[in-house]
Amino acid sequence: MNVTVIGAGLAGSECAWQLAQRGIQVELHEMKPEKMTPAHTTEYFAELCCSNSLRGAGLENAVGLLKEELRRLDSLILQCADATRVEAGGALAVDRHGFARLVTEKVRSHPNITVIPGEVTEIPEGEVIIASGPLTSDALAETLQGLLGEHSDLHFFDAAAPLVSAESVDMEHAWMGSRYDKGTDDYVNCPMNQEEYDAFWKELTTAQEAEVHGFEDSMVFEGCMPVEVMARRGHDTLLYGPLKSRGLDDPRTGRWPYAVVQLRRDNAEGSVYNLVGFQTHLKFPEQRRVFSMIPALRNAEFLRYGVMHRNTFLDSPRLLDRYYRLKKEPRIAFAGQMTGVEGYVESAASGFLVGVETARRLKGQPPVDFPREMAIGALALYISNESVTQFQPMNINFGIIPPLDHFVKGKRNKNAEISQRALAILEEKKADILA
């Protein structure tokens, strides 16, 4: 029993691992480092191109539930994320390179996985899982266009935030702390008063953007919007988004500043920080000029500027079933962001489900019914829901999970109880899923 997996990102690595753990021989094709994309910089699998955060860790967050489901089901990605975690308050953030390096080592050392370097341009015979990602090469994208026809040419734009060296941050104009003092002091908080913010906002809205073919504000995915696009939506938009100061008491004044830019640790050593929520496609000199207007970053050393790239995803409700299989040719399945699941953890979850289902089918076992009450199931059932007419990439959220059948006071309490319901269902199915 052999399966070809194309792409060793988060979804492809997870998928290959789950197949291999169930005794399936896997050929894992990865075009890096022979051919790179505009967003990738290393040879490692599961490279994190945007943020180093896997978002909220608590069970009152839908993504926290999704992570816990994957963790309990022996997910490779969660195992490696937990092993390379860096402090980030209530979020699960990882040492970017340490995480990718660990995933790569584990995948390459598995006896049932054979890694084959080089670009794939045609779809092989037999069982195939395409996890080539939102930056699928032009040649493979053209092949997919021919296979999928009218439902394949959708896209949005994704952006990554700049990185700065920790030693270049002026701590006389910043302080360490987390919102509402939750957890440990994991963020560098860079305040601005109203005059400083007004000047910053004005320059940000008029700064020169890099040329990105086909870019329009209307095509920006809301979950990863460039900071300059957000700023153009109104003077106060950033104050309710990445620059909100609520819950951040400046120790020098005891009050919330007018605006706060947060920096989050990007590696285990704490030598590199990223600007939280500052995905951008401004020209590099403009990024330095405008972002250096933040008082704590006046002399910042930019280790990487923000970049923007086109992401491609499928019209999955018309193309895929709840197991991410191509309806018209079930031997072919898809996984990862190209299916319309948005986010690192969501991509890993799709790869997990595809790997489990494909292995079970090849071994003559019935598929697992991942119900809508579980986050893994809710995602799969959303992307395959034919009633969704205007399909857009979707992060996991409690809105696609059925509500409770009884009243619970308080949103956090309600969400936590929804999560406990999901985990109870998981425990009933766990032995079968791991078989």
Query: pLDDT tens digits, residue range 397-431?
Result: 998 999 999 999 998 999 999 999 999 999 999 99
Which amino acid, residue 265? R
Quote the mean pLDDT of the chain.
Answer: 92
12 is in an annotated binding site: yes
Mean pLDDT of 216-241: 83
Q: Do residues 284 and 356 share a domain?
A: no
Q: Do residues 263 and 353 share a domain?
A: no
Q: Do residues 378 and 425 share a domain?
A: yes
Q: How many folded domains does the chain comprise?
A: 2
DSSP-assigned states of every residue in 79-145? HHHHHTEE--TTEEEE-HHHHHHHHHHHHHH-TTEEEEES---SPPSSEEEE---TT--HHHHHHHH
Distances (CA, A) of 344 to 53, 54, 161: 9, 6, 15
Residue 151's pLDDT is 65
Residue 182's pLDDT is 77
177 is in an annotated binding site: no
Q: Do residues 184 and 264 share a domain?
A: yes
Residue 423's pLDDT is 98
Report percent pLDDT > 70 for the chain: 94
CATH code of 267's domain: 2.40.30
CATH code of 130's domain: 3.50.50.60
Q: Do residues 368 and 287 share a domain?
A: no
If one counts every other C-beta atom within 10 angstroms of the C-beta of residue 317, the result is 17
Task: Tell whether the model's pLDDT for residue 374 goes beyond 90.
Answer: yes
8 is in an annotated binding site: yes
Q: Do residues 271 and 342 share a domain?
A: no
Identify the weakest region by mean pLDDT among 35-39, 235-239, 341-345.
Answer: 35-39
Distances (CA, A) of 136 to 142, 145, 331: 10, 12, 20
Q: Do residues 172 and 290 share a domain?
A: yes
7 is in an annotated binding site: yes
* Length reported for the chain: 435
Task: Tell whether the model's pLDDT for residue 8 goes beyond 90.
Answer: yes
**Which of 89-98, 180-189, 301-310, 381-390 has maximum average pLDDT?**
89-98
Domain boundary (256, 274, 306) is at 306
Domain boundary (306, 333, 364) is at 306
Residue 17's pLDDT is 98
Q: What is the band of 133 on the pLDDT scale with cuts at 50, 70, 90?
A: confident
Residue 34's pLDDT is 83
> Is 312:338 a contact under the CB 8 Å cutoff?
yes
Mean pLDDT of 22-32: 97
Mean pLDDT of 93-119: 97
Q: What is the band of 89 on the pLDDT scale with cuts at 50, 70, 90?
A: confident
Q: Do residues 101 and 216 share a domain?
A: no
Token pair in block for residue 313: 């995803």
Q: Do residues 150 and 198 share a domain?
A: no
Picking from 75, 158, 155, the residue whose alpha carbon sits closest to that of residue 345 is 75
Report percent pLDDT > 90 for the chain: 75
Task: Tell whether the model's pLDDT for residue 215 goes beyond 50.
Answer: no
Task: Tell whether the model's pLDDT for residue 11 goes beyond 50.
Answer: yes
Q: What is the band of 290 on the pLDDT scale with cuts at 50, 70, 90?
A: very high
Task: Tell whether the model's pLDDT for residue 219 goes beyond 70.
Answer: no
Structural domain containing residue 361: 2-156+312-433
